[in-house]
Amino acid sequence: MEDSYNKAGVLVQALPYIQRYTNKTIVVKYGGNAMVSGELKDAVISDIVLLSLVGIHVVLVHGGGPEISQMLDKIGKQSRFVNGLRYTDAETMDIVQMVLSGKVNKDLVSLIQKKGGSAVGLCGLDGSLIQAKKLEEPGVDYGYVGEITDVNIAPIVDALEDGYIPVVATVAEGVDDDCCYNINADTAAAKIAEALGALKVVLLTDVRGVLRDAADEASLISVIRAGEVDLLKRDGVIKGGMIPKIDCCVNALRGGVGRAYIIDGRVPHSILVEMLTDEGIGTMIVGDKDALK
């Protein structure tokens, strides 16, 4: 009996959050190692279905880096990363498209549907959703890695209006050449959130959030203001894979997204805890004038 009252208490605690977020758009990026375990995948997808069923417009943008690397391994090709981005030659681009748009995307769509949600799978090519040109940096060649030039939100908005959860693979349409481009999924999620004017963008990763000491999981920084990020990078607190992630969050905030979150994809139901309870479990990145209410 006590257990039932506890459960009812949890639901009541979620009510003001549900009311606040109903009909609002939230972009969730799921990928990396947090997507490898089947058990965790089940928990993440259950969270997404629940949020969608209570009327929150959830857009799921996914990665699949480990799956791409596995497939490249199978054909005897070594993965190479330059500044955290996969060097993508023409053959690798084909594999990226097959794995992300063909396999990972459809598996996630199918899982959402098995859990009682309705989903539609899209990639950046569908309805010219993600348009990109070659990412150019002096002295660096990334191959077919793209820099997003535009996002056409129409396919996402249409899917949401029809009651579907849009599931987006980050293969982009080339606007400068007759080709596709490979886009880092964090970057794409932030840009899509910006284009949609989303209330929140949530990046799931394989650490608790941004840590003051990357080796100490107890050193979680719960709130970071956009204006503090440069100093944290300069002091070497934020480094490696966390740099592009936090940069995406800051860009999204500057582009009008309300708040950005980096949370632990290894903890079952971390999305629900972050969104619908009084506890913040990861790192929330906010604008410099955000009143933090």
Ligand X SMILES: CC(=O)N[C@@H](CCC(=O)OP(=O)(O)O)C(=O)O
Ligand Y SMILES: Nc1ncnc2c1ncn2[C@@H]1O[C@H](COP(=O)(O)OP(=O)(O)O)[C@@H](O)[C@H]1O
- Residues in contact with ligand Y by the rule CB under 6 A: 31-33, 205-207, 210-211, 214, 237-242, 245
Report how far Cα 14 is from the mean position of its chain's Cα atoms: 23
Contact pick of 28, 61, 145, 201 for ligand X (by CB under 6 A): 145
Question: Which tokens sit at 248?
Answer: 């995406």
Map 212-273 to HEC letters.
CCCCCCCCECCEEEHHHHHHHHHCCCCCCCHHHHHHHHHHHHHCCCCEEEEEECCCCCHHHH
242 contact choice in ligand Y, ligand X, none (CB below 5 to 8 Å, kind-dependent): ligand Y
Alpha helices (H) in 171-224, listed in sequence order: 185-196
86 contact choice in ligand X, ligand Y, none (CB below 5 to 8 Å, kind-dependent): ligand X
Q: Which residue is nearest to ligand X (CB)?
A: 63
Going by C-alpha positions, the residue among 211, 210, 212 that lies closest to residue 249 is 210
Minimum CB distance to ligand Y, residue 283 (Å):
8
174 contact choice in ligand X, ligand Y, none (CB below 5 to 8 Å, kind-dependent): none
The C-alpha atoms of residue 280 and residue 220 are separated, in whole angstroms, by 11
Known binding-site residues equal: 64-65, 86, 182
Does 68 help bind ligand X (rule: CB under 6 A)? Answer: yes
Question: What is the number of alpha carbons within 13 Å of residue 66 lying toward its C-beta?
Answer: 9
Q: Which is nearer to ligand Y, 57 or 245 (CB)?
A: 245
The C-alpha atoms of residue 59 and residue 164 are separated, in whole angstroms, by 9
Minimum CB distance to ligand X, residue 265 (Å):
10
* AA identity, residue 174: G
Minimum CB distance to ligand X, residue 42 (Å):
18
Going by C-alpha positions, the residue among 190, 142, 147 that lies closest to residue 28 is 190
182 contact choice in ligand Y, ligand X, none (CB below 5 to 8 Å, kind-dependent): ligand X
214 contact choice in ligand Y, ligand X, none (CB below 5 to 8 Å, kind-dependent): ligand Y
Does 169 help bind ligand X (rule: CB under 6 A)? Answer: no
Quick one: which segment of 18-26, 150-158, 181-189, 193-201 binds ligand X (CB under 6 A)? 181-189
130 contact choice in ligand Y, ligand X, none (CB below 5 to 8 Å, kind-dependent): none
Known binding-site residues for substrate equal: 64-65, 86, 182
Find the binding residues for ligand X in span 19-58 (CB under 6 A): 31-32
CA distances from 177 to 81, 97, 146, 173 (A): 23, 17, 11, 9
Q: Which residues bind ligand X (CB under 6 A)?
A: 31-32, 63-65, 68, 85-86, 96, 145, 170, 182, 184-185
